[in-house]
Chains A and B, each alone.
Chain A
Amino acid sequence: MRITTSVIYNTTVANLQKHNARLLRAYAESSSGLRLHRPSDDPAGTRQVLALRDTLASLDAFKTSRAKAQSLLQGTETALQDTEALLLRAKALALRALNDTLGPAQRAVIAQEVGGLFDQALALGNSVIGGQYLFAGQATSRPPFVASATLASTVRSATPAGTLAGLEDDDLTINGVSIRATRTMDDPLSTVDAAASARAIAAAINEVAASTGVQATAAPTTRSLSVLYFGDLAGNALTINGVPVTGTITDAASLVAAVNAAGIPGVFAASGAPNNLTLTAPDGRNIELATDGSASSGIEFFGFHPGGGVALRETTTGVVLLSSEAPFTLGGRNPGNAGFTAGPVNLTAHFQGDNQTITQAIGTGQTLRVNVLASQFLAADLQPAVDRSTPLASLRQGRGITPGSIAITDRAGNTVTVDVSSAITVGDVIDLITAAPGVDVTATVNDASTGITIVDNNTAPRQNLSIADVAGGTTARELGLVAHRPGAVVGAPLAPQLTLTTPLHLLYGGRGVGTLGSIHITNGDREVDIDLSHAATIGEVLATITTSTARVQATLNASGTGLDVRSVDPTTVAIVTEVGSGQTAAALGIQGGNGIVKTLSLLQEALQKNDTRALNALLTSLDEGLRNVSTLQADMGMRSHTLTAAEETEADLALHVTELLAAIQDSDIAEVLTRLTQLNTGLQAALASTARISQTSLLDFLR
């Protein structure tokens, strides 16, 4: 090929430029220490580098989240240790108080120290770390335990009706303040014995609430009946609060239907078992059962025989609940006329947290439960789930649902306002929503049995399913239904309290308690085993315990999370323990081991009342409590271990990732410097040869 002058020049210039470009890149690599500057330097490497940097940053972030989890775990462990120390102290005090040589005065002194332990237990229950209440479940923004002194009156009844005594002046004193006599006009709702009703007594007590510091409320009245034979009712064979109940009665369902069809003001019937009828007056009015004895069909209740040819009338009152923020004392000439007994009422705790666990991310795809639930050791919680029969009044931890309307717009765009004011149970709300005209939606209890789910049935949806409150209302929000969703609306948890009709299978979030066994009650000189195996509802459990020979009254506790068993004898304290190796008392949350706060309160009361039998029985509860706490401590140890293990794994991973990252993005300095030298030499050679070539020309030889 013919080589022309410009070819020579162009080629040398191009080669020099190539050399310079390579040198520049080598310079950049050696001066920055990085091999990658632009994605095109190594596209695959770039992707790896970016992903590895993400991983490294994630690992870094997990460090802070582990530190947070660590602080929560440590706070919990400390609280558990303190609780253990407190229980050991309580047990030592109980053992000391059991010494026969001690008298009531010395035990009263010990009772004061136990009162201090109770306060400590409450403070532990309200432990705070980083502005967060440790034992409140997910309700971390308010103290889970609120101390209050509460007392429930016993249910009173009279046969014949109309003979039940109300309060006379000075029959009852609270903190030394006398309560006035009750009058018929105090309770316009009760049809008989109005002056003795829970409503009348509560009204009289509340008149002086400012000076006693004690508030009274009338709890729902209940009257449970066991049916021996079913048969038809006609005429006045059965009247309830003066209203006749008639109909063809073949089973519990038809009996319930007949009672509810009679339209008795304020009284409703329900049944939890085939031979059971429970009458409830939610407003606490008296329930009067009467018969003229004329039933020809042979219907017969336990202790109440409409067909017996004998007229019979009986009254049942509701329960008066007293509550105060401070301990108080009852006295008076005849407190029994209000269903109370004289004596001190100690502080107990009211639990207002929940049972939700909190988890934290502690590593890649690894989470850890960081909280311990108060219901595992401090305060038993039976955690009822929601079903159709759950009364609306029990929802939202007993705050209930404001009567009102819900606006529903289904996915076809149809709107309806559903008035749920008439609803009494969750099932009523569900039926009203499902039957709402114009919209095509179906309401059910959600799968987790915590709330209501509304499903849209429109096959050609054109918009979101929208549930809202009507102007000014809060009903939909309280039912957890306010939403605007392209699909089913899954309502928020409704947090029901226990009610008498709560079936046992709904307890513990719907897991239930299976078939109950027996419990043992120590009350003064009575040692009674009570068989609860036939009970299907909380009400039946309570009734069985109350009607036993143990002389106790079983009620729902004030926060609606568990049961209380109290002696009706003012001088004794009733203590529940297991029978043998059974778990029935524990399952019902009345055994004391998973309700340390209440156990301490009972211990204080037993000391005050000088009840050594109760003290003895309480030792079992305290031991159960210690066992629960140490189980939890072991659990915390496991979690700490998991956390440490995660920390080590992540540290190893971080090291590995860092190495990998360095291997991809960092330049190999030795290699780069060698290359730099090589390129430099090459450039010098190129420059030298260029100079040589450009000098060589025919001109040089023609001179």
Chain B
Amino acid sequence: MGTLAAILSTGQQALLAQQTALQVAGHNIANVNTPGYSRERAVFTSAATSTANVLRSGVSVDEVTRAYDRFITSQVNVASSNFQSTQTQADLLGQIETLFNDLDTPEAGLSETLHALFQGFAGLAQQPQDLAQRHVLLHQGEAVAGALQRLSAGLRGLQRERNEALGDELARVNSLTAQVAELNKQIRQREVNTNHHANTLRDQQDALLKRLAEKVSITTFTTPTGEVTVLLNGGRPLVEGHQSFTLTTSLDPDDGKRLLVVLQDAQGSGTEVTTSIRSGSIYGLLAIRDGVLPRLIAQVDRLAAQLTTSVNQLHSTGYGLDGTTGQNFFVPRQAVGQALAANAGGGTLQQIAIFDPTQLTLDDYRLTFASAGPPATFDIVNATTGAIVAAGQTYTAGATFRFAGLAVTLNDNGTPPQPGDTFLLSTTRNTAQHIAVHPALLTAPQQVAAAQTPHPGDNANALALARLQEAPSLDGRTFAAFYHTLVADVGVASQQATGLAEQQQAVLTYLDNRREALAGVSLDEELIDLIRFQQAYNAAAQLIRTADELGRTVLDLVR
């Protein structure tokens, strides 16, 4: 049974409810430009006002919900992960490209200096007796060496910078995961204690997760208690409940210049997770550092190594003006080797010498111990082609064995090498870094071997050296063609990465728009809502006035 008071009460409730709705609309309008903001809606519920009757009367706003789609949000996260990964790679490849940009800055580029060197040999062939021509040639030799060194140093510099950037990026990830964990705590407090939706906090958390996804590849899920768990690819947790786990770096034991990513777990022990990062800007950075850059450095080294060998081989068989022979033009290649950090035995590479430069290949080699013996045996494998060079070699401490122009002496510190122990050998590594014209020639240019016989007018060796320009010396290509292909490869990689980044951006934009469509604020819509709630408010006020008039009527009856 309704009473006037009940009508007033209904009116009052309606006024309050419409006010709340207006407030929500106002909140939405205010946040129209807030990134990651999810549009809110006041949820009206018709409510009973009197406890005596089951007659439903009036309205109430029980909760304010936010427009949110879990699937779109996670799709956006994946897309921004991918986008950041490709964008980072595109940016870095753009930087690498400038090192290989012989189009715009040809003077100091490898293409032109290499060409100038062979022209220098051709010039010497024209005037084999001329000392000035020899000085010119040596200068051109130094220019090629300089260009190779600059290229190599540039690539190594980028690699080093990526190492430094990795630390910064991981610090940002750690800060983000810490904030996500903190928000987990706050949201739980808010929602458990007050039974309210912590919409703003959740929006903040979503924004943090998106920024986290931009850095590393993550998967997230929400626990029944409303906390977000963040997992790295491979299922290792970054955030679990109120706790976040930090990512740190450690030096690669087999490569002192490479930093690995390590996840510190709750017990304080670290797990290497470098390869678990599969997208995001950190992945982009790692992909360039561990993929593109080492490959390019190796190719430039191979070019320098083959150039050294080819030129030296011809040069050392020729004769200088003073009758000297056997002189190298470039400082000869050096063999380098290392024992892997994981080796169990105490084996060491006592000495690696090149005893026959003509037998040298451009390949790397791997010595792996097969049995402990005694006598222990090892296999020599061509690490580049995978071919077995020699299997089942017997190990004798201090003994020297020879293959592919190398003389290698293995020894140990008393503990013999164990099965699986591996040693790496290379005759190309760092060649581009160290290539230089032989210092003996710089002080005695008459030793430049233009002749194939000890005659001052003989130019046959200089002609042969000049013809190296046309010789398919490296992978069936000329030196110039090899380098040009390298430049083109970098160009293709850069072009592809840029294209991919644009494509990923399009995907991201589409998904962002989808999310916006669902959760974004439309001013038109909010204005309509304003009008709607204003009118409802007016109507509720009218209800109160009607009730008031009814009351007056009743009072007038009494008077």
A residues whose Cβ falls under 8 Å from a Cβ of B? 1-7, 10-11, 14, 36-44, 46-47, 49-51, 53-54, 57-58, 61, 64-65, 68, 130-133, 136-141, 354, 356, 358-361, 364-365, 367, 460-464, 477, 480, 482-487, 490, 492-493, 665, 697-699, 702
Contacts and interface: CB of A to CB of B under 8 A. Distances in A.
A462 B355 contact: yes
B359 interface: yes
A486 B359 contact: yes
Interface string B98-112: 101111101000011
A130 B470 CA distance: 29
Contacts of A141: 129, 456-457
Interface in B520-543: 520-524, 527-528, 531
Contacts of A14: 509
A2 B359 contact: no
Contacts of A665: 103
Q: What is the predominant secondary structure among interface residues of chain A facing chain B?
A: mixed
B527 A57 contact: no
A5 B33 CA distance: 9
B402 A64 contact: no
Nearest to A14: B509
Contacts of A463: 355, 407
A461 B97 CA distance: 45
Contacts of B407: 462-463
Contacts of B356: 461, 464, 486-487
Contacts of A10: 509, 512-513, 516
Contacts of B323: 477
30 contacts: A1-B517, A4-B516, A4-B517, A6-B521, A39-B97, A39-B100, A40-B490, A43-B489, A43-B491, A43-B492, A46-B103, A47-B484, A50-B483, A50-B484, A51-B481, A51-B484, A53-B106, A54-B480, A65-B123, A137-B457, A138-B453, A139-B455, A139-B456, A139-B457, A141-B129, A141-B457, A359-B460, A360-B126, A486-B357, A487-B358
Interface of B: 32-33, 93-94, 97-98, 100-104, 106, 111-112, 115, 119, 122-123, 125-127, 129-130, 316-317, 319, 323, 325-326, 355-359, 400, 402, 405, 407, 451, 453-460, 463, 466, 469-470, 480-481, 483-485, 487-492, 494-495, 498, 509, 512-514, 516-518, 520-524, 527-528, 531
Contact of B32 (A5, A44, A131, A136): A5
Given A38-B97, A40-B97, A365-B470, A356 B455 contact: yes
Nearest to A460: B402
Contact of A361 (B125, B487, B531): B125
A411 to B, nearest CB: 8
B11 to A, nearest CB: 27
A399 to B, nearest CB: 13
Interface centre among B93, B453, B466 (most CB of A within 10 A): B453
A361 B122 contact: yes
Interface centre among B103, B129, B509 (most CB of A within 10 A): B103
Given A68-B127, A356-B457, A486-B355, A698 B527 contact: yes
Nearest to B67: A2
Interface centre among A11, A43, A482, A698 (most CB of B within 10 A): A43
A364 B523 CA distance: 73
B32 A6 contact: yes
A430 to B, nearest CB: 20
B404 to A, nearest CB: 12
A490 B454 CA distance: 12
Nearest to B316: A485
Contacts of A40: 93-94, 97, 490-492, 494-495, 498
Interface centre among A44, A65, A130, A359 (most CB of B within 10 A): A65
Nearest to B531: A702
Contacts of B521: 4-6
Contacts of B469: 58
Nearest to B324: A482
Q: What is the predominant secondary structure among interface residues of chain B facing chain A?
A: helix
Interface centre among B101, B319, B457, B522 (most CB of A within 10 A): B457
A354 B453 CA distance: 12
Given A46-B488, A360-B125, A360-B126, A461 B111 contact: no
A454 to B, nearest CB: 14
Contact of B129 (A3, A140, A356, A490): A140
Contact of B516 (A6, A61, A364, A702): A6
Counting from the closest, the 7 A-B pairs by CB-CB distance are A39-B491, A140-B457, A43-B491, A4-B520, A138-B455, A40-B494, A138-B457
B340 to A, nearest CB: 27
Contacts of A49: 103
B517 A2 contact: yes
A363 to B, nearest CB: 12
Nearest to A48: B484
Contacts of B463: 359-361, 367
Contacts of A140: 129, 455-457
Given A2-B518, A4-B516, A464-B355, A50 B111 contact: yes
Given A39-B101, A138-B457, 12 more contacts: A1-B517, A2-B520, A4-B516, A6-B33, A40-B492, A40-B494, A40-B495, A40-B498, A46-B484, A139-B455, A141-B456, A364-B470
A492 B454 contact: yes
A39 B455 contact: no
Contacts of A42: 491
A138 B101 contact: no
A57 B111 CA distance: 11
A461 B405 CA distance: 9
Nearest to A11: B513
B491 A46 contact: yes
A606 B326 CA distance: 53
A50 B103 CA distance: 7
Contacts of B97: 38-40
B326 A484 contact: yes
B527 A699 contact: yes
Contacts of A51: 480-481, 484
B543 to A, nearest CB: 25
A463 B126 CA distance: 36
B357 A697 contact: no
B103 A4 contact: no
A136 B458 CA distance: 11
B325 to A, nearest CB: 6
A172 B127 CA distance: 51
Contacts of B115: 54, 57-58
B119 A485 contact: no
A482 B323 CA distance: 10
Interface centre among B319, B357, B484 (most CB of A within 10 A): B484
A68 B123 CA distance: 10
Interface centre among B119, B455, B484, B522 (most CB of A within 10 A): B455
A462 to B, nearest CB: 6
Contacts of A139: 455-457
A53 B481 CA distance: 12
A61 B116 CA distance: 10
A167 to B, nearest CB: 43
Contacts of B488: 39, 43-44, 46-47
A46 B455 contact: no
Contact of B487 (A4, A5, A7, A46): A46
A702 B527 contact: yes
Contact of A37 (B103, B119, B123, B460): B103
